[in-house]
A and B are shown apart, each in its own frame.
Chain A
């Protein structure tokens, strides 16, 4: 069992997403530590890419700010190595296929292992193309986390059976961003996932309020929040650690309120 599943040991998980280097890497470190202190169970660290295909304006903005500040993949590796001196919760990278590809998959994943990254999420890597990266991920013990969207109905079972780490369920159609409506058949989607894997599953895309988080955590094992966190960072810049911490605290409390009938341990 990978370290990632430890994130789901303490009840429902809250998973924030943070773009590395927005506004700078020192602030990112502060934010990560503050999020951990306030109950984050796993953190998704975004490696910025200039041409992402699944990001809404908020996260695109974070990418632009981070890249303008001169962040590079190597600098992010150094930052994570530094974080790992005291941060023990699972950490995963979220980035795009090109970033791994351009760095060299073997080099990238061996670095991940070396600095203590537990998994990677590549939203533009379709399930059918996983073979390109999977052997290298296995070689270095880094989970390649699969995304499942409401549209991929006939593929949900197949993807679930082959999944590693946890299952990232995309709440609704469209790019990332905060929204008020969610795909109505999420419960049945989660149900199909449950039938095919014992891995925990978390729901992301468009979650912002504690009410959303409670709702999502009642359906699945956790909630993932990106854009709402990035908005706080956008607003407070270098002083974002404290307000992000407070937000994480409120969201962790919200997911703990959820009482799903089905748990990951079932």
Chain B
């Protein structure tokens, strides 16, 4: 399919280019002492991950350990309430550990094993990526160092406990504001020193090349499965698909299966408390081009041009930028990006729980809320939503803040 002069039948061969660019976005903006390590990962990815041995091992793991393929569920009661529109969800909440994150973590750690590395290193904010990586490291028997700001360590005690039970070493970072930013620096510093024995595992389709491509490719299993399953369930493609976008890993994997199809694609960003800077994290919708954390993309900036403070009820969407491929797909118009606020998200969280018996992650609830709105607007047709994770982790927070409705 051709769209805006871009041939999507050969899209994955051409995007990113060999320097890691999606149009003008992406690249590798990192200090030279890190570049050699990135080049090593790039090269290993290009050779090892394309080998049939790697692919068949990853396939087996997905089936036997992660429980893939995850199903698609038809939301019968919710659809009935909406009229003549069919709503479906791709159940990444049923992936092992309860979210899509494990898809790329298993790929990254398997790559580390093939490269002969002994250790994986990462930072984590809310702890979701840390838990997924610790799980993968435990499975493959590699050491795992997770860097986490001291403030986050206190806030996210259950996830810290999970990581420790899984055998990871949680390194508390006490510099500066003691949050994700300092954790990223500490993790990079450790990686610089240990890169001969270790590999850095990024948590989304962000960061320097090759991570946006590699994480997308590992996550593309979601889109490939969803397309096949939807076709065999209904005999046709969905009219529209929807996913939430923070860094954008679940969305990128899901979208990648449908880019070459006549399907409307929607990325949903968190509008939080409102449109004022600092009240939301809708980077593609309200941001502009900038460079941070090693890549060029669209980001939210303060008046000085620095990454702006952001807010979202969902800690997994609370990031001032999105992956470079999202910025590209936005610019060419292939994916439409729109927003959902906290209140509508909470409504959707309860709606899906009570109408369908699925408690969604607060991140995924953004996509559900948008899917419901979209369905009402469409009046007829089908909408497939990527339910990227389950909501167990969010229940205490929601009950405390919003009560049981």
A residues in contact (CB < 8 Å) with B: 49-57, 60-61, 64, 67, 72-73, 96-99, 101-103, 123-129, 147-153, 170, 173-175
Within 8 A of A (CB), among B315-354: none
B185 contacts partner chain A, Cβ-Cβ < 8 Å: yes
Bound together, the chains give a CA A97 to CA B306 distance in angstroms of: 11
In the complex, identify which listed stretch (B24-32, B95-103, B108-116, B261-269) lies at the interface while the others stay far away.
Answer: B24-32
| Contact partners of B303 in chain A: CB under 8 A | 72
Q: How far is the CA of A219 from the CA of B79 in the complex (A)?
A: 73
Say yes or no for B278: interface residue by CB 8 A criterion.
no
Q: B188 contacts A151, CB within 8 Å?
A: no
B394 sits at the interface (CB 8 A): no
Q: Does B176 lie within 8 Å of A60, measured CB to CB?
A: yes
- Select which of B177, B293, B294, B305 is within 8 A of A99 by beta carbon: B305
* Minimum CB–CB distance for B316 against chain A, Å: 19
Question: Could you pull out 15 A-B pairs where Cβ atoms are within 8 angstroms?
Answer: A53-B34, A54-B30, A57-B175, A57-B176, A57-B182, A61-B175, A98-B292, A98-B305, A103-B305, A123-B32, A129-B29, A147-B32, A151-B33, A152-B33, A174-B33
Known contacts: A50-B307, A96-B291. The answer to whether A126 contacts B35 by CB under 8 A is yes
The residues of B that contact A101 with a CB separation of less than 8 Å are: 289-291, 305
Looking at B28, B31, B36, B182, the one whose CB has the most chain A CB atoms below 10 A away is B31
Given A96-B291, A173-B192, A174-B192, are A123 and B176 also a contact pair (CB < 8 Å)?
no
Known: A73-B304, A150-B33, A174-B33. A124 touches B175 (CB 8 A): no
Given contacts A54-B31, A128-B19, A175-B185, contact A60 B37 (CB under 8 A): no
Query: Does more than half of chain B's interface fall in helix, strand or loop, or is it mixed?
Result: mixed
Q: Which of B27, B31, B301, B304 contacts A53 (CB 8 A)?
A: B31
Q: Let me know if A152 and B32 touch, CB within 8 A.
A: yes
* Interface contact A149-B306, CB-CB below 8 Å: no
Q: Taking A49-B306, A64-B177 as contacts, is the C-beta distance between A149 and B33 under 8 angstroms?
A: yes
Q: Is the CB of B31 within 8 A of A60?
A: no
Q: What is the CB-to-nearest-CB distance from A161 to chain B, in angstroms, rounded to a whole number?
A: 15
B164 contacts the other chain (CB 8 A):
no
Does B35 lie within 8 Å of A174, measured CB to CB? no
Interfacial chain B residues near A148, Cβ < 8 Å? 32
A98–B192 CB distance below 8 A:
no
In the bound complex, do residue A151 and residue B36 qualify as a contact, i.e. CB atoms below 8 Å apart? yes
- B193 touches A (CB below 8 Å): yes
**Are the CB atoms of B185 and A55 closer together than 8 Å?**
yes
With A51-B181, A152-B32 known as contacts, the answer to whether A174 contacts B289 (CB < 8 A) is: no
Most chain B CB within a 10 A radius of its CB, from A102, A103, A148: A102
Q: Assess the A102–B193 pair: CB atoms within 8 A.
A: no
Residue of A nearest to B32 (CB): A149
Task: Enumerate B186-230 residues with CB–CB distance to A below 8 Å.
Answer: 188-189, 192-193, 195
Q: Which residues of B contact A55 (CB under 8 A)?
A: 185
Complex Cα spacing A101 to B19, Å:
19
CA distance A99 to B305 in the complex (A): 6
Bound state CA distance, A183 and B303, in angstroms?
40
Least CB distance, B179 to chain A, in whole angstroms: 12
> Do residues A152 and B36 form an inter-chain contact, with CB atoms below 8 A?
yes
Whether A174 contacts B189 by the Cβ 8 Å rule is yes
Of A51, A64, A147, which is within 8 A of B307 by CB?
A51
Supposing A53-B188, A98-B291, A102-B290 touch, asked if A149 and B31 sit within 8 A by C-beta, the answer is yes
Among A50, A96, A102, A126, the residue within 8 A (CB) of B32 is A126
| A49–B304 CA distance with the chains assembled, in angstroms | 9
- Could you say which residues of chain A place their CB within 8 Å of the CB of B182? 57, 60
